[in-house]
Structure 1
């Protein structure tokens, strides 16, 4: 068997319904052998369907004793990779990779040593392009987005934050790439110590992209590589919990990016804005 240079790491949390199609899609996503690791953040007693699917596909099943979040699970999976791995595909399990998509992204990285991470065009299940390559959110932009996105969706801060390559799909640099699917150099991931595990869920990919940029390297959007993100399955309660986690992570990232007492008033406004947005969305969900 040829030596693996490319690994795929993903995290399952009750993902047995989507994991099979994801694993099946990897065979055509690259012409090269892939070392695949599935970290399981939600073990159950007895036989695990996730374990069965993983081992049937020839991948490594990695059960985790405690769910410490997406970033922690990805970091643990990376630590279990063989030493010869050079490129790491980081993906959600509810993704189907198009033929050749991984090879296109690896080629993008291989062609330019200044590129640390490359991300594909991500489609939703209905074929819409997801804005997966965005600018780093600023503190003032974050405040505007938090305060007005629910009541004024077309506000300039939200439009700026969600700027992407939907209109004219073309390769370009980005501030950060969606952690739903990206390929990164292993050396970069290890130099940066992987994802910041203080983010339980959300913004760990924003934080990683920000640190890649701060290190002098690049995040590149490569729309000729395509994957489909089928989407997570959650209840209304889960959605509210996820919204709370998202706002908590947003608050953490912007506070980390803009520390110091002089910026405390703006951080306080951001916190109020996020809390107000949560309240408005919670009321909306209760009415539907």
Structure 2
């Protein structure tokens, strides 16, 4: 029997976490033993499990400081690895798991020891699409958030294939991809033991891209599994794209990631862009660039008053 550790992070989004746990209760775990860890990232009120969710295999870890997605995930991963799990599912708390997701993900990853990570087809939650006015009533809930991914090195960013497209069967092939979103990744234990966990220097954003590249450099494959399905309420705990948090961490971490991995041409472009942002960027972008060059990584100075 395979043992799977499931790790999610809560940060001031208790309702989302409880909805996630509701979906977890309906999951088909036939042939699996599950160990679940919810890491609370120093929410305004410590997260605790209501009575209906209190089970031997579900644990809550309350942190006394916000360690970001990378730190929160790492805390949970370390905990489930103590349970001698075979695989670790890291998954955002603002998601709803399809009942067959574990069956379908493990079916693919178990076929080839060179497959280190598998990731599902991910839809926007109905009504949470970026451009919901574009779609018919019937199309809502069938819009891709992620259908596989790859790295765009010209712009130093990960790309979600199919984003904003309606699912008409165009991405129904299980295949190797270049990038798996940290929204949901099933990772082989041996991979984590070989390449390590998420890099805490990122805190938030690009931490998944960094782990993906380290996994690929170690010789493992990353696979997209369309038969495995997840529904995602986008950026619930970060407030959505375009806010100050996004401005700061995307800007700083693009520099951190790009200067570590990107081709020389893209590195030069990033340095030039950083100079432009220092001169004419938005306030949090300027702060992010300064912090990058001063080595203020992790949480940086974003939360400083």
| TM-score, normalisation: structure 2 | 0.75
- How far apart are the structure 2 equivalents of 1:219 and 1:180? 14
Alignment match, 1:15: 13
Alignment match, 1:168: 171
Confirm whether residue 141 of structure 1 aligns to residue 124 of structure 2: no
Asked if the contact 1:88–1:185 (Cα under 8 Å) also holds between the matched residues in 2, the reply is: yes
Alignment match, 2:84: 84
SS state at 2:243 partner: helix
Asked if the contact 1:244–1:278 (Cα under 8 Å) also holds between the matched residues in 2, the reply is: no
SS state at 1:7 partner: strand
Alignment match, 2:73: 74
- Compare the two structures and name the one with the higher helix fraction: 1
Asked if the contact 2:10–2:43 (Cα under 8 Å) also holds between the matched residues in 1, the reply is: no
Alignment match, 2:225: 222
Alignment match, 2:48: 51
Taking the TM superposition and a 5 Å limit, the aligned residue runs for 1:121-140 are: 121-126=121-126, 127=141, 128-131=143-146, 133-138=148-153, 140=154
Which runs of 5 or more residues in structure 2 are unaligned? 127-140, 286-305
> CA-to-partner distance for each residue in 1:184-218, whole Å, 9 max, x for gaps?
11121122111011101011111111111111101
Confirm whether residue 5 of structure 1 aligns to residue 3 of structure 2: yes
Alignment match, 1:62: 61
Asked if the contact 1:243–1:278 (Cα under 8 Å) also holds between the matched residues in 2, the reply is: no
Greater mean deviation of Cα atoms: 172-181 or 162-171: 162-171
CA displacement at 1:264 relative to structure 2? 5.4
CA displacement at 1:279 relative to structure 2? 4.1
Asked if the contact 1:26–1:97 (Cα under 8 Å) also holds between the matched residues in 2, the reply is: yes
| TM-score, normalisation: structure 1 | 0.79
Alignment match, 1:268: 271
Report the RMSD for the aligned CA atoms in angstroms: 3.1
Confirm whether residue 210 of structure 1 aligns to residue 208 of structure 2: no
Q: 1:120 to 1:162 in 2, by over 3 A?
A: closer
Confirm whether residue 186 of structure 1 aligns to residue 189 of structure 2: yes
Q: 1:207 to 1:228 in 2, by over 3 A?
A: same
- How far apart are the structure 2 equivalents of 1:209 and 1:237? 22
SS state at 2:224 partner: strand
Taking the TM superposition and a 5 Å limit, the aligned residue runs for 1:98-113 are: 98-113=98-113
> CA-to-partner distance for each residue in 1:159-190, whole Å, 9 max, x for gaps?
xx444496332112111111111101112112
- How far apart are the structure 2 equivalents of 1:202 and 1:125? 21
Residues paired across the two proteins, number: 259
Q: 1:53 to 1:175 in 2, by over 3 A?
A: farther
Instruction: Return the structure number with greater relative CO, CA threshold 8 A, min gap 6.
Output: 1
Alignment match, 1:28: 26
SS state at 1:93 partner: coil
Asked if the contact 1:39–1:63 (Cα under 8 Å) also holds between the matched residues in 2, the reply is: yes
- How far apart are the structure 1 equivalents of 2:279 and 2:22? 42
